[in-house]
Amino acid sequence: YNEYKSYLRMLDTDVDMEIEKKDGEENMDTQEEDEPNKSSGSLVWTLDLSEFNDTTFSPPLYVRNLPWRIMCIPRSSNSAGSERKPTLGFFLQCNPVDVQGANNSWSCYARATLSLLHRESSELDFHRRINHFFFAKENDWGYSNFILMEDLKDKSKGFIKDNKVTLKIEVTADAPHGVHWDSKKYTGYVGLKNQGATCYMNSVLQTLYFTSQLRKAVYKMPTEGDDVNKSVALALQRVFYELQTSDCAVATKKLTKSFGWEALDSFMQHDVQEFCRVLLDHMENKMKGTCVEGTIPKLLEGKVCSYISCMNVDYESKRSESFFDIQLNIKGKKTVIESFKDYITPEILDGDNKYDAGHYGLQEAKKGTKFQKFPPVLYLQLMRFQYDPLMDMNVKINDRYEFPETLDLTEFIEDSNNNNEQELFSLFAVLVHSGDNHGGHYVAYISPELNGKWFKFDDDVVSKSNRLEAIDNNFGGSEEESLNVRHCTNAYMLVYIKQSQKDEVLVKITDDDIPHNLKAFFEDEKKEEALRRKEKQEAHLYMNVEAVTDSAFHGYQGNDLLNWDNARPMVYRIKKEAFVRDLEEMISANTGYAIDGIRLWIFQSRANSTTRPAPIEGENDKTIWEIAEKDTPLRIFLETVSNEIPTEPLPPYKKDNQIIIFLKYFNVLEGTMYYLQHVFLSRNSCIGDVFAVARKKIPLEANVPLALFEEVHAGRTDELTPTKLLCEMEEVFDGDIWVIQRTDNVGKFTHSNVDDYFRDLDNRVTVTFCDKNNPSDPGFNVNLNQKMTYNEVAEIVAECLQTESNLIQFFKPQSHRDIAGYAIKSHFEGTLKDLFMSYGQRAKTPKKLFYLKLNIAIQELESKDHFRCTWLNKHREETVLSLYVSRNVTIAELLEEAKKQIELSAEGSGKLRLLEVYSYRIHRVFSNEVSYHTIQPSMAQQTTCYRVEEIPVEETMLGATDFLIPVAHFHQTIFQCFNHPFLFKVTEGETLQSVKTRMMDRFKDVSEKEFEKYKFTLITHGRMNTLSDDFVFNSTDFITNIDKDSKPVNEAHLDVFLHSRPWLGLEHALKPPKRSRYNYIEKPVKIHNQ
């Protein structure tokens, strides 16, 4: 039986491991056995095999408020090549369907022992261990073939009696997520909500919060008058206050918002140590000049002495520096003490690395560090993330690394023998990282009172822990070393507190220590937020009513009475089930008018797409929601009594005999529309009666002739006959708009009458013009008529830009990106409306065009070719050039055009040349006499770069034996070229050593030591030949006999395809950019606000 038991244990991936309790350690299960929130528990259950035909469950065992059950399933072995035999499937199941607050996102990590109990001796019990992350889709874990049924029923094995077996589970679980867990009730503390990937920040904030002396100083920072949204200090005070007073998890969105972070920053992990350092630096600056200045250095600042001591002469250099945390190398180290010893181990400077000791010359020396003073709060960062040159990436070191609960650093203090004070530190916090270099999760284990009681802070969940979980289980190590712990989970940062200053650092803080004004501010803020939440919850019961009076119509120049987008209405929040009377009472109370001094008119949409006021009377039995026809907001015109006699009630409105008309006046001389007032006309009155109102309002003499128009809809007005009676009109409704104008105006006006004005208004469009060369240009707006031609638009825009109309080029915007697209031809014959339609811009979308100010007339520009090339200056910096040239020009004329856009060096030759570059190699050098149209840039530029450069002075005067060779940089293979290729002058018979010496002047940004690593190679038809310093340059190695016969050697590089010729290659590594120490998913932590 023992052999069989050993065999089964070998099949198990988790080995049964006994962990002895250390002396003085407290058991984490201080709760009573029947408390459902306990962290561990056990359940013994008897399974009757006579009734075991299907999946069977035990009663629940409650651990961490979750129900854990034994789940047994009859299974069969599936060993290959052998007969299938019945087995017992033994699983641990967690299915919190009935637990308060549980949802499909619940999760819980648990460790358990599944046991089959022996009837006679507990030493013969059969155990198997599991570790699993339980969640909704994987809510059970265990062994399908826990034991063969024939062995289970074999009485000689001692497991069965009366056809029954006894099973046992021992479960230890972390506090769950996604279910109701009252951290405050179970631990006395609350957690912090995770915004997406802010677990690293939460662990740091909890550590800082429990550093009581620091928390007390944070409360005392002056933040009165600070911007609520941008003050980091105020936001941190809020987080600490809520951690101290709240009963539930605290949000950190206001804190990250005060950093100036965007939403994406909350989903990007940062380095814990870096975030801690940046936040503390920010707080230290905020504390300057206040009563808490110097608190952070007092708590966290230590002193270290960097020294270099000569070994053979009496000379030593020292420099004292401050530190706020210590980075410990853990690779190859087993304990913190080993890392400290490595930290202070001096480096020997000898050989080529000797120290320059001034007048003593180069000396062998020791370079090292000595600790002069440790701070009361000691932050130790364990360097688990390091760069691996073989993998060319950062990797996480999961090696086992032990740290003690009490740390004695006395031996590491300089002159410790003369100092009787011991440097004893107690472990206060362990910040743990689970995962790898690409991401993971952070939690913090903290002992708030340094009394041996540990708590786990896992974002919003806080739970009791013990020394084993907080310390031993976070040493790290391989699977073989620590089967009870996840391999990638280990300590990343340790926080120790000096024992002699424990009471000072961990001073007790009560609510009375929080400044009264700060407490009052946060409580008022909570009340306001509660009110907003209530309003949000009840928002579906309310609707908005927007009300305007006559004053909103004044100054408006468009159709209808006003533009609601620009109006500033009075907004009333009212219940949807309220009645008109309720709304009237609300408006009366707000405006001060009596109820009988106001009348409400609802703005209704008509079939012709206009909006006009209509009576609301007679609708008193309907709710506001019904009157609004279930649309929000409800917009109304508020008629009020005259301010001259505010106590008088409004005269009654007789719906059957009266019509409300709104009057406007069009001033032909100014081309401006004025709102006059609203009037009530009886159906038997004359239409022309409104003229009297106009003459009085404007005023106008009695003999001034007037005409009357009805504003029907956008772009259409109908002239009315003033002598007609209102009842004789075919269609007249409440809310109609009539426009009055003079008819005695003589002269030329922009709009001769109301009809012209509204027709022009209907075609009016606002166009935004943006600078094509300035991506951030907001542009300027111009009101244009859609019937304008290209030339008319150009004239108006030119006036805005203070230039000539023919010195502007317009571009349409790209449909998928907000940048300039194709140019608009100056001979475009359509209207502005045609222009937008041809570019696919819909009628209601904002109109935008791009412009470019020119140096030549647009007509001349359009007759030329656009040639795009790059300018390479003496600093080897590239600039893009846009040249406009005629197709019949020569290369010399093209280069003269390029000179207008570049700045030549004073000491240069002043002469330019044009090169064709492809794949970082020179393919062709053009002579000045070549015609521009032969290079066909429109086709070639798709894959080719044309480069303009200044000819070096030494290359302008080539002797008969001088010639130019193409040079290019490459790495490992000639097909991996990079950097700027160039031409270089050599002379017949010149050695490579001589060429190297001269070429060094070309590479001013390359050190001599680095240049020596360059390999010079002659590449001929793809074959590489490494050159030695005594190699002699000969033109026959680079120039073909055919080219030699057709032109002199010093011109053999012109107008030929150099890519087929031999070339000189410089083989060296492509220097990569300096590698960041951050993970690729990280970016440096920045706090943008003060």
User: Which of the residues are catalytic?
Assistant: 199, 441
CB-neighbour burial class of residue 783 (10 A; exposed 0-12, middle 13-18, buried 19+): exposed
Q: Give dist(CA 34, CA 30) in Å, integer.
A: 11
Tokens, residue 568:
């500033």
Helices and strands, number each (H, E), in the chain: 26, 51
DSSP H helical segments within 136-267, as ranges? Answer: 149-152, 183-187, 199-210, 212-219, 232-245, 253-258
Distance CA 285, CA 288 (A): 5
Task: Please state, in angstroms and rounded to a whole number, the distance separating the CA atoms of residues 850 and 826.
Answer: 14
Token pair in block for residue 856: 């030549």
Q: Sheet harboring 570-575: ordered strands across?
A: 570-575, 542-548, 634-640, 598-605, 611-615
Q: Which two tokens stand for residue 165?
A: 């077996």
CA-derived radius of gyration, the chain:
43
Residue 1021's alpha-carbon distances to 742, 1029, 1049, in angstroms, are: 90, 22, 21
Task: Give the residue from 706, 682, 711 showing the smallest Cα distance to 694.
Answer: 706
Per-residue 3-state assignment (H helix, E strand, C coil) for 1008-1020: HHHHCCCEEEEEE
Residue with tokens 């005695």: 744
Distance CA 381, CA 78 (A): 49
Asked whether 110 and 41 are in contact (CB, 8 A), the reply is: no
Q: Which pairs count as long-range contacts for 577-582, CB under 8 Å and 24+ apart, including other chains?
A: 577/541, 577/623, 577/624, 577/625, 578/623, 578/624, 579/620, 579/621, 579/622, 579/623, 579/624, 580/616, 580/619, 580/620, 580/622, 580/624, 580/627, 581/620, 582/624
Distance (Å) of CA 299 to CA 180, 206, 276, 514, 1055: 37, 16, 14, 20, 74
Instruction: Please check whether residue 544 is in contact with residue 634, taking contact to mean a CB–CB distance below 8 angstroms.
Output: yes
In contact, 781 and 766? CB cutoff 8 Å? yes
- Strand ranges for 389-525 from DSSP E: 393-396, 406-408, 424-436, 439-446, 454-458, 461-465, 489-498
Cβ–Cβ < 8 Å for 112, 169: yes
Instruction: Classify 483 in phi/psi space as left (phi over 0), alpha (psi -120 to 50) or beta.
Output: alpha
Q: Find where tokens 């300590």 sit.
A: 491
CB burial class (10 A; 0-12, 13-18, 19+) of residue 295? buried
| Distance of alpha carbon 1028 from alpha carbon 996, whole angstroms | 11
The CA-atom distances, in angstroms, between 866 and each of 861, 882, 937 are 9, 7, 9
Total count of residues recorded for the chain: 1090
The H or E element containing residue 690 is helix 690-697
Angle made by CA atoms 805, 811, 812, in degrees to the nearest 5:
135
Pairing of strands 808-813, 820-823: antiparallel
> Would you say 250 and 239 are in contact if contact means Cβ atoms under 8 Å apart?
yes
The Cα 295–Cα 288 span in angstroms is 10
